[in-house]
């Protein structure tokens, strides 16, 4: 589906990642932890669908974040932001900087999911404060048009990282306003005290339970796929948003490969 088709579908600018998901497509993303405008400029032109700018684990401040988001303009990439916690005061400046979506970590209850949904929406449906900041400029619309379409176009991604979250997943996914549920396999293995043991029976059981609940809820399922084989397996299991790389790991691997020439 072309960028022009997205534009005509909604009668104006739309979030390209959300439009592709709505069209039934599988999208890819890179996680970006390095606070670098130059890195974003390069990654945004790689052909990837979304960049998740990581304020949970990356050393990215708000001023740098705004510049990184602006650096995606003129590309097909949707700039998304992973915030450190599900708190409206953390979400407001991220969205005002022009982010097209928010990735909330460690969602483990329906109440936390409701807070996440409210944080990305203006009243009366949410608690987002109104500020004509940089968002309209990044989206290429007037302030008034941004305000009218933001609630519809912001992508809300929640991350499932613990057995407790999986136990409560039916209630979590029943909360209106969730677009994507991401299964964080490494964090889940950490919560079990078995970091990286993805084939452990309990780990496999929990992932299968989470996948079944997400499919049943009709929510887009996201997960990590760092190889062609992993991506194919994830697609076969119904995943439609794939985290295909981490900037630090990609840089490290490229540096080691180049050093060995």
Catalytic residues: 57
Question: What is the rounded CA–CA span in Å between residue 62 and residue 64?
Answer: 5
Question: What is the rounded CA–CA span in Å between residue 148 and residue 165?
Answer: 33
**Pairing label, strands 27-32, 180-183:** unpaired
Measured in degrees and rounded to the nearest 5, phi and psi for residue 127 equal -125, 10
Measured in degrees and rounded to the nearest 5, phi and psi for residue 171 equal -70, -40
**CA 252 vs CA 36, 47, 48: distances in Å:** 16, 20, 19
- CA angle centred on 219, ends 216 and 221, rounded to 5°: 100
- The alpha carbon torsion through 130, 131, 134, 137 (nearest 10 deg) reads 70
Spatial neighbors of 118 by CB under 8 A, at least 6 apart, are: 88, 125, 126, 127, 128, 177
CB 94 within 8 A of CB 65: yes
CB 59 within 8 A of CB 51: no
Question: What is the rounded CA–CA span in Å between residue 26 and residue 23?
Answer: 9
**CA 101 vs CA 69, 178, 206: distances in Å:** 11, 11, 27
């Amino acid at each position: 589906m072309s960028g022009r088709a997205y534009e005509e579908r909604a009668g104006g600018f739309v979030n390209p990642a959300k439009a592709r998901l709505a069209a039934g497509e599988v999208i890819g993303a890179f996680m970006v932890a390095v606070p670098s405008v130059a890195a974003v400029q390069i990654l945004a032109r790689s052909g990837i669908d979304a960049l998740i700018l990581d304020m949970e684990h990356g050393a990215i401040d708000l001023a740098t974040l705004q510049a990184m988001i602006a650096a995606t303009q003129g590309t097909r990439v949707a700039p998304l932001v992973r915030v450190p916690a599900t708190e409206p005061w953390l979400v407001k400046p991220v969205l005002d900087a022009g982010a097209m979506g928010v990735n909330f970590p460690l969602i483990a209850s329906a109440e936390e999911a409701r807070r996440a949904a409210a944080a990305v929406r203006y009243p009366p449906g949410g608690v987002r404060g109104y500020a004509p900041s940089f968002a309209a400029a990044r989206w290429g619309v007037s302030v008034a048009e941004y305000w009218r379409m933001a609630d519809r176009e912001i992508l809300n991604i929640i991350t499932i990282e613990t057995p407790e979250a999986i136990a409560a997943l039916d209630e979590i996914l029943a909360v209106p306003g969730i677009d994507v549920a991401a299964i964080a396999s490494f964090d889940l293995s950490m919560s079990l005290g078995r970091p990286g043991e993805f084939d452990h029976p309990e780990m496999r059981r929990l992932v299968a339970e989470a996948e079944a609940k997400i499919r049943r809820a009709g929510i887009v399922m996201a997960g990590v796929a760092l190889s062609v084989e992993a991506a194919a397996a994830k697609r076969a299991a119904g995943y439609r948003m794939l985290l295909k790389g981490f900037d630090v790991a990609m840089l490290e691997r490229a540096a080691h490969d180049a050093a060995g020439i």
